[in-house]
Structure formats: C-alpha cells, structure tokens
Amino acid sequence: QDSLTFSTSAFFSYVLYFVFQLVTYAPFTLFPSPVPKTVFLQALALQTHYNTLVDKISQDPDFLQEALASTIAVDDFTAKLFRIHKQILKEGRSQSIVLGLNRSDYMLDQREDGSSSLKQIEINTIAASFGGLSSRTPDVHRHVLKVAGRLEESQRILDNNPAFGLTAALAKAWELYGSERAVVMFLVEETQRNIFDHRYIEHELWKRYDQFVLTVYLYDSLFSDGREVAVVYFRNGYMPQNYVSEQSWDARLLMERSRAVKCPDISTHLAGTKKVQQVLARPGVLEKFFPDQPQVVEQIRATFAGLYTLDLGAEGDKTVTMALAAPDRFVLKPQREGGGNNIYGSEICQVLEGVKDSTERTAYILMDKICPWPVQNYLLRRDAPLKISNCLSELGIFGAYVRHGKDMVMNECVGHLLRTKSSEHSDGGVAAGVAVLDNPLLV
C-alpha cells in the first residue's frame, strides 16, 4: 500500500509538472495602469467610425487596387492575398453577409512641450486577439487591489467583456446565414500559445447555442466532417508561415469561394494592411469614404500619426532621406501582423540602405514613432523575477459589425484591451512574450 501510494503520488506530481510545462497563466501587470479618461472615451467613440471605414474600404476594389499596387509588386505574401481578392471579384461574391471583428490600437503621444494626443498604431482586421482573456482581467485587478487595501481603486476598475460583443456578432452572422444545422468554424494554428483566448470566445458561443462550434486547422478540408459551415472565423492565416504549402492557399481560396460568412473576407483582410493605413493619411482620402461627415473625418484624422510612403519617386526619396537622418524618430513597418515585425533605430538605416534605390522598399511604410511617458508597474510572467519596471501601455478598442447586403445590422464598440510592456522593448505583443495584459485605471 505504501508503495502504491508513493507511485500514485509520483505519477500525479509528474503529470502536474508536465501540464505546467505546457500550460501557464497569461502574463499580467500586478496593478492597473493609469489612462487619461478623455483619451479612453475618445478611443471608444471612434470605434464605430473605424468599423464603417474598414467596411467601406473592403467594398471599394478600385481603392484597394490603387493603394496596394506598389506593395503587391514586391511583397509576395500580400500579392497572393490580392490574387485571391481579384479572383473573387471576377467570379462574384458568393455571400452578401459581411462580418467584421476589429481592434484599433493606440498609444498616447506625449511630447516635451507638454502636449499629448491619442495616436493610432494600427487597425487589426484579422485574428484580433485577447477579447477573451481581457474579459477576465478586471476581476484579477479588483482582487489584487482589495488584497492590497486599495478598495476605492478596486471599485474604479471598469467592467469589460469584449467576448460577449464579439460572439454576439458571430451569432448574428450565423443567424442570418439561415441554417440551424450549420456550424461556426474556428480556423486556428496547430500549435497555439494563445489557445485559451480562443476557447473563451468558443465558450461564449456555446452558452448561446448548442453544438455549433467546430475547430479545424488550416490544412484540413473545409467540409472534412460533412458539416455545413456558416461562419469561418480566422484566428490564423495572417502570416506567411501560416500557409505551409500551395494546398494552404488553395484552402483559403476554397473558403473565400464558399457560401460561408468569412471573418474577415479577403477584401477586409487587405483593408487592414499597413499600406492602406498609410494611404488613408493622405489629404482628401478619408473624405472619399465620409463625403458628408466632416466631423467624422476630423475625429479619425486626429488619431493619425505621421505616415509616409516609400514608393519610388520624389516623395519616397524624401521619406528615405528623412528616416536615415533621424531613425530614432520613426518606425519602419512591413506588411505583417502579429507583433515583433517592426523595425527601429539603427536597424532602419540598415534596411533602408539596402533597398533605398530598389522597388523592394515599397514593401514597407514609415511612421512617426509614438512617445508615451513611462509609468512604473510590476510585470508578472512565468519564470521572470518580480521587479518594478518602467512601462509603456497600448490601448486596443474592439469593434464588431455585421452587414447584410447594403444594410448594416450591427455596428458596435464592444470592449477594450490594455497591454503593457517594459520600456526597454521597442516592439512585441503578449503572444510574442514581451507585453502583458493590463487594465486601465481612468484618471
């Protein structure tokens, strides 16, 4: 009996050790970080306008063609996405229901003269993450603050449940599809560090309906189990390495051709590229999408940082010269998502010196570097010492919309996300192992 007890104990100890090696808590800040209330409310108010903007861009093939012409000539990944977009335009869209789950990311630009303003980093139109986990972080910080004896601050932590709003849009698209036997398909990577963020969204869907969530991998057949797919929810497919073979690209085309609602469809995916972001900052472009809404144009444009083309010609040459003269003032951005792709400081010079006289430079855009003031906090992550750090925060606002033909049946701001990292890091997200989850404490 003693031997059996010892063996059982040893077995469970091994299992617990093994599980801990595979599963750990999402990293987070010990305390919530201060965020100016006016800036926070400004970002919330903008989200439905950004939803509308993304949707209008996705319906404007001439704009996408013109905006991305130089990029697709040199960036193979974007070119392959664009070829699918052109093929769908040629064949005709098979589905009039459009579902968008976006996240617009901002930082507070604070200058030495005392001025400050909200500036957009990017808008994510595919696989916008952490809607699930950020629905749980308010309770974490409320508990921490109560334990720390800071009851008043704990009561100021905002309610936040983006997962509810995101799944409401997924469910609405499923309902409009009109088949009770059809499923929502989550498209995920085979190995995914952020799996519990996916699972939280899936769980919210299960709470709304029974037996209509299916998880598959990119290389699987779309209808391998014989179930009709009403909605394809992409949590994969935004990086070149997600497409392991030509069969992966064939699968993407198959899904775009299908009657399933795509989140996002290929046009909406392209609307979120860095090049489109840069083109939108040109004078007169926003007016094209909001011709009778000058106040909306003004509100959106106020969040644009300086964005500069690297296309061949005098304007692009000026951008190169400007960046080489003061690289610390800028960020060089390729057409990639997922964190850890941007280029800073002396590396900007290395990249631009190699491509400054080549069309290869058009694979990038240049953006003013946003400069928030650091605040101090503790970053909690597995296997990292607990120490106080100078930190920078990034605010994300989740948006969800559903359009059926010409009718926008849902357009909402559904929640927020705060991510914080040590100021010693220039780039990188939570999944990249740099930033951690946080909550805004409005001041």
Residue of 204, 337, 377, 403 marked catalytic? 337
- What six digits make up the tokens of 203? 């769980």
**369 known member of a binding site:** yes
Distance CA 368, CA 306 (A): 5
**Averaged pLDDT score across all residues of the chain:** 90
Amino acid 428: pLDDT: 67
- Tens-digit pLDDT profile for residues 248-259: 999 999 999 999
The yes-or-no answer on residue 116 being catalytic is no
Q: Is 126 annotated as a binding residue?
A: yes
- 102 as an active site residue: the answer is no
Using alpha carbons, select from 48, 40, 50 the residue that is nearest to residue 123: 50
- From the list 129, 135, 160, 377, the catalytic residue is 129
Catalytic residue among 124, 160, 267, 439: 124
pLDDT band, residue 197 (cuts 50/70/90):
very high
Instruction: Choose the catalytic residue: 156, 161, 338, 381.
Output: 338
**Residue 216 in this model has a pLDDT that exceeds 90:** no
Q: Which of 103, 172, 252, 356 does the annotation list as catalytic?
A: 103
**Any known ligand binding at 274?**
yes
For the cut 70, the answer to whether the pLDDT of residue 112 exceeds it is yes
| pLDDT of 225 | 58
The yes-or-no answer on residue 419 being catalytic is yes
Q: Which of 102, 122, 356, 403 is catalytic?
A: 122
342 annotated binding-site participant: yes
pLDDT of residue 214: 59
The yes-or-no verdict on residue 168 having pLDDT over 80 is yes
Using DSSP bridges, classify how beta strands 364-368 and 33-35 pair: parallel, antiparallel or unpaired.
Answer: unpaired
How much is the pLDDT for 212?
60
Q: What percent of the chain has pLDDT over 90?
A: 77
Q: Would you say 192 is a known binding-site residue?
A: yes
Q: Give me the residue spans of the domains in the chain.
A: 27-296+375-442, 306-369
Q: Binding residue per annotation — 21?
A: no
72 has binding-site annotation = no
Please give the pLDDT value at position 430: 77
- Count, residues in the chain: 443
For residue 191, pLDDT beyond 80? no
From 142, 252, 274, 356, the catalytic residue: 274
pLDDT, residue 70, reads 97
Catalytic annotation on 103?
Answer: yes
Between 12-26, 36-50, 111-125, the lowest mean confidence (pLDDT) is in 12-26
- Report domain 306-369's class: alpha beta
Q: Tell me if 236 is assigned to a ligand binding site.
A: yes
d(CA 87, CA 73): 17
The one catalytic residue in 102, 419, 429, 439 is 419
On the CB side of 349, CA atoms within 13 Å amount to 8
Residue 25 is predicted with a pLDDT of 85
Distance CA 436, CA 342 (A): 18
Distance separating alpha carbons of residues 56 and 60, to the nearest angstrom: 7
Identify the active-site residue in 275, 333, 361, 403. 333
Q: Is 337 among the annotated ligand-binding positions?
A: yes
Tokens 């993304």 locate to 54
- Look at the block and give the residue holding tokens 């070149």: 240
274 as an active site residue: the answer is yes
Ligand-binding annotation for 387, yes or no, is: no
pLDDT of residue 211: 55
Active site residue 93: no
> Is 387 considered catalytic here?
no
Please check whether the domain covering 27-296+375-442 is classified as CATH 3.90.1200.10: no
Q: Is 341 annotated as a binding residue?
A: yes
Q: Let me know if 122 is a catalytic residue.
A: yes
Higher pLDDT, 380 or 1: 380
Work out the average pLDDT over 85-94: 96
